[in-house]
Amino acid sequence: MPLTRYGWDPAFEALFENLLEERARGASRPDLVPGRVLSESRETYRLTTALGELAGEPSGRLRFSAAGPLDLPAVGDWVSVQPFPAEGLGIVHDVLPRRSALLRRAAGRRDEAQLLAANVDLLLVAAPLGGDLRARRVERFLALAHEAEVAPAVLLTKADLEPDPDAALSAARALAGPAPVLAVSARTGLGLPALARLLAPGATAALVGPSGAGKSTLVNALLGSERQATREIRQSDGRGRHATTRRELFVLPSGALLVDTPGLRELGLWDAGAALEATYEEVASAAASCRFRDCRHEGEPGCAVRAAVDAGAIDSSRLDAFAKLRREEEALAARRALGPARAERLRWKRIMGGSKGPVKLR
Ligand SMILES: Nc1nc2c(ncn2[C@@H]2O[C@H](COP(=O)(O)OP(=O)(O)O)[C@@H](O)[C@H]2O)c(=O)[nH]1
Ligand SMILES: [Mg+2]
Ligand SMILES: [Zn+2]
């Protein structure tokens, strides 16, 4: 399959040419071809190249010069590959500059970004119907899209399980702002043609959402085959079996590209500052009329946001969610202001057990 089937275009071509020119001036100049990362597992990549699929590994130089995981390839990345087609192998030398990067704060205590996918053009936020629409979770995923400057769309999945799809649609539209909202069912086929119209040939969409939302089932429906393992619920204990464990990029028969992801149990935002204003657009636009420019909408006089809540123009649970994410964001910013060196020193102290209990900040 030619690389254009995987989204290769003149802009990436120009970036690759630049890279070759740079390398031609340097000492090491292996023969390089472009490739795209289809899946990644512990620094081993499945790559598509003009020479076919290769199993890739980062070059020693790439691995050791990487300051962190963001410098290494992720699903969706375009990379330079030194191919060994006879062996089906490739050495990845460089990651091409990304058009977009979906980042989250890595799970656990470390303040580290995790790259979910690169070069994504459309983020499909899956939210299952048939129960409570988890509005706060949908908002977090929308903020992830705004942060990455990737256009979002909301997919209300398993619509066949929903007794009142119209009510669900209007509830979701209230969260989504200008983003499209679709009700879909892989079981009945409802909404699949409309979804297919959102997926442009050559463009890359990524599916995110909680585990069990039906993401992989949708991928299979769009692929027209059972390529992606879906979670079957065991009768005996209701637990899932084949949950998706890694992110993977698929080429749909329509020519669109789609990344399936495992469910994210927690989605910590990485750097959501401005994204919150795009996500809670009604709060941000009312805030422009608050008397104080730094109004926190917590009871200050002349607060236009509170006035809008009292008038029923802003949903108070949306304001609460906005305030909560802003506090999270501020706490992160404060921690980061310690600087990497200081944070590193504190971590070291903690690891060494020099102090009992939490480390005291001077
Ligand atoms: N009723 C119904 N069930 C679905 C639909 N799509 C998926 N499921 C079921 O939901 C469960 C989870 O699906 P899966 O695709 O693995 O979810 P994922 O974790 O988001 O990838 C499986 O048992 C599917 O058969 C749908 O449109 N309607
Ligand atoms: Mg899955
Ligand atoms: Zn205010």
Contact by Cβ (8 Å): 204, 119:
yes
pLDDT in tens, 190-212: 999 999 999 999 999 999 999 99
pLDDT of residue 356: 40
Q: Check if 229 has its Cβ closer than 6 Å to any atom of ligand 1.
A: no
Q: Which residues are 56's β-sheet partners?
A: 45, 90
By DSSP bridging, strand 122-128 and strand 204-208 are: parallel
| CA–CA distance, 114 with 70 (Å, rounded to integer) | 7
What is the pTM assigned to this prediction?
0.85
Q: Check if 217 has its Cβ closer than 6 Å to any atom of ligand 1.
A: yes
Q: Check if 244 has its Cβ closer than 6 Å to any atom of ligand 1.
A: yes
Q: Which residues crowd ion ligand 2, with CB under 5 Å?
A: 215-216, 244
Question: Counting atoms of ligand 1 from 1, which one is nearest the CA of 231?
Answer: 16
Confidence band for 339, pLDDT divided at 50, 70 and 90: low
| CA–CA distance, 209 with 279 (Å, rounded to integer) | 17
| CA–CA distance, 306 with 113 (Å, rounded to integer) | 34
Ligand 2 center–CA 233 separation, angstroms: 12
Q: Check if 216 has its Cβ closer than 6 Å to any atom of ligand 1.
A: yes
Determine which of 131-145, 268-282, 336-350 has the lowest per-residue pLDDT on average.
336-350
Ligand 2 center–CA 218 separation, angstroms: 9
Greater confidence (358 vs 204) lies with 204
Q: Check if 214 has its Cβ closer than 6 Å to any atom of ligand 1.
A: yes
Confidence band for 274, pLDDT divided at 50, 70 and 90: confident
Confidence band for 333, pLDDT divided at 50, 70 and 90: confident
| CA–CA distance, 130 with 159 (Å, rounded to integer) | 7
Q: What's the count of helices (H) and strands (E) in the chain, helices before strands?
A: 11, 13
Q: Which domains does the chain have, with CATH numbers?
A: 3-95 (2.40.50.140), 101-260 (3.40.50.300), 280-352 (1.10.40.50)
Averaged pLDDT for residues 233-257: 71
Q: Check if 187 has its Cβ closer than 6 Å to any atom of ligand 1.
A: yes
